[in-house]
């Protein structure tokens, strides 16, 4: 049964700041449920995934208290939705024996499957070629600490699963003042060069007035008055005490600057290109 919604606001008398993250990579996977042999991915980053990334950057062990991180207000903008990838797995015993089941006997040995099962099939889902801009808002001292941690992470960072490494840059500049909504509306479009070129071509051939300098992007925000709920707020990352509670969210559209040059020749350098060498640059990031 879902727990009561976890508060996502902080006292108004504390100075607030916003940390903006660019979540992009060849693969991402933001799961909020698993059923037997299926591992799904949400179409956008979950709060548990973003909190886990921040906790890893800060060097917090799995047993550490994450109450302060859960209390941060989260906003996510979809800059490039990507496509869904299914990873199909089969597992068999190379000796030709039937696979064991999860249960064990009195001696602690796994029982054989009955009827005998020779192959186990699993499905894992990923988002490929996706780009998101996530922003967290909270007490300025905490946000500044997290911003420094993202620049010098204590543990390896991942986009939902350990195998999903992020491309650079991860942090988009210094921490910001203002509201979560205003910060995400002001941050230029972070899609890849191929998506930006396609958008410019669309603007050039559109019979209607169409500016290539602004684009409407979908976003979601933590909002106690929101009309939708998600069960992705982590209580703890301790494997012995894992659990999730719900949060209320609000869906919105933001009109943001594309960062495209006024002419139809070349686009302005993307944030990834201006950050120095990036091993994923040849993939169009």
Closest CA to 59 of 149, 148, 167: 149
Per-residue pLDDT tens over the stretch 168-188: 999 999 999 999 999 999 999
Percentage of the residues of the chain whose pLDDT score is greater than 70? 86
Alpha-carbon separation of residue 204 from 143, 192, 209, 264, 268 (angstroms): 41, 19, 10, 8, 17
The CATH number of 16-283, from 3.30.470.10, 3.30.70.2660, 3.60.110.10, 1.10.150.20, is: 3.30.70.2660
pLDDT for position 228:
95
**Ranges under pLDDT 70 in the chain:** 1-13, 34-36, 262-285
Domain boundaries of the chain, sorted by first residue: 16-283
pTM of the model: 0.80
Q: In the numeric block, which tokens belong to residue 162?
A: 């350990």
pLDDT for position 208:
77
Per-residue pLDDT tens over the stretch 65-75: 999 999 999 99
């Amino acid at each position: 049964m879902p727990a009561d919604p976890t508060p996502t606001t902080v006292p108004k008398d504390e100075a607030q700041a916003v940390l903006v993250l660019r979540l992009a990579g060849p693969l991402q996977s933001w799961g909020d449920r698993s059923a037997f042999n299926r591992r799904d991915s949400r179409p956008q980053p979950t709060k548990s995934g973003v909190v886990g990334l921040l906790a890893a950057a800060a060097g917090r062990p799995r047993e550490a208290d994450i109450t302060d991180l859960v209390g941060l207000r989260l906003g996510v903008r979809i800059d490039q939705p990507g496509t869904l990838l299914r990873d199909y797995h089969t597992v068999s015993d190379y000796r030709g024996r039937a696979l064991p089941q999860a249960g064990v006997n009195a001696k602690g040995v796994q029982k054989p499957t009955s009827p005998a099962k020779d192959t186990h099939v699993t499905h894992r889902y990923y988002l490929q070629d996706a780009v998101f801009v996530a922003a967290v808002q909270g007490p300025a001292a905490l946000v500044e600490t997290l911003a420094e941690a993202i620049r010098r992470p204590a543990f390896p960072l991942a986009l939902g699963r350990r195998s999903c490494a992020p491309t650079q840059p991860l942090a988009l500049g210094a921490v910001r003042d203002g509201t979560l909504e205003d910060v995400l509306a002001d941050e230029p479009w972070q899609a890849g060069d191929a998506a930006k070129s396609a958008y410019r071509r669309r603007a050039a051939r559109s019979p209607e007035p169409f500016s290539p300098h602004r684009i409407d992007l979908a976003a979601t925000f933590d909002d106690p008055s929101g009309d939708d709920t998600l069960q992705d707020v982590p209580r703890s990352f301790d494997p012995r005490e894992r659990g999730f509670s719900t949060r209320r969210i609000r869906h919105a559209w933001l009109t943001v600057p594309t960062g495209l040059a006024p002419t139809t020749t070349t686009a302005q350098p993307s944030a990834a290109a201006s950050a120095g060498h990036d091993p994923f640059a040849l993939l169009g990031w």
